[in-house]
Structure 1
């Protein structure tokens, strides 16, 4: 896909904001003017919905769209996105996304017997490795090396004494308690995941639409602008400069376009409930 993205504004709003002069508002013409394929548009729709953010294409040769054409373009693009959201491809991508977000269960701890077998095997290997390397040790270091080797063998002998596993038993109990705590945390996260990611993608789409409606609810279309020394336009009210990029895009798109986007989003939300 051509890299023509600017992260943050509403898909069906921003498509028409960037605009074109054609009076044909079919989705085919819209995509052609935006120099996009239907697969590109589907990728936009999926990325925006799944990430709950907003992006739009920015071909440089597209200029102003007549204000009275924008609502029809909003609806055409919105219908395209809505239709894609009902497709098997969208649902399958959602299920993959859902599964990738699923928490992983903790690994069960070793049994006391497994732990002792592993520890014994590790000590035996250390002794074998030291015995093998002993021949290459310089004569001046052999005495110290032999002391270390004998200490390791003594440790092995103590480990193998009958009944010398009380510490292992206590450690096993501690490990089991830690595992049970991790398992409870996993179950809690799993419940949250099941609420956050139901089997169908409707909730994900609702969050996306609700975020657009929330941010676009208080756009001041009468806000004044001035031009700074670099020629960049800025809001006279400094608090408007701190608004989200989606809010600023709605301002630039204008009241008609934004209201058309909000109307479409509200209608779609009613269908999802």
Structure 2
């Protein structure tokens, strides 16, 4: 978060430099940035083990995306480098990706249709690909330094992981439709993508490693069973993956609008009872 030092002086997040502007809009921009950062922290802190927890986290991440979007669209990008177009785009897509993750978890908890779960997961991939593009921008890479490599590695891991989840559920759909050759290739693709995610996950917390191991057990079991059944029972041709229809993402989240002038947000006008100087001078004559 941006640390407040004075009315119009702030410390940039990544460079550590102090930036000062004699402009009240810069103060407003800093408050909006901190609002987005606060919502992102609250979204990450919520326990997503229940439907209510998933809903609350999802809302916080969408609110964070809304704050960063308003900042990107209504304030100068020259205020500071951490308010640049690329950094804000990175923040927005990271927030939307995490919000979509919440809905993906809920869709699996609700046992939604395999094709829908695949599309929701594919959209998570799309958001993180946009975030990765922002990370690969030369100015962003220069600004972030070593952090850029760590963040890029983490985002790429998520891209492979959720692509694996999408193909796992496409394989389940093929299974439901008794397309046993397609089932094999989707599960194989899911396994390949998960292996890439595991390579990129080195150094990640044990909770991440545990989730990857669990997913490997699921996908590995599905692939081995599907291949064995097709080899010995169904004998269907296994198509090339690129001959099958790609999974189109289903965006179910958005940046929730922010209106800094809304009285419900700002509260009552603190200067409402302030007498204008002209009226004060006129009254003093009597």
Q: TM-score, normalised by structure 2?
A: 0.22
1 or 2 for the larger relative contact order (CA 8 Å, sep ≥6)?
A: 1
The structure number with the bigger radius of gyration is: 1
Q: State the TM-score, normalizing by the size of structure 1.
A: 0.22
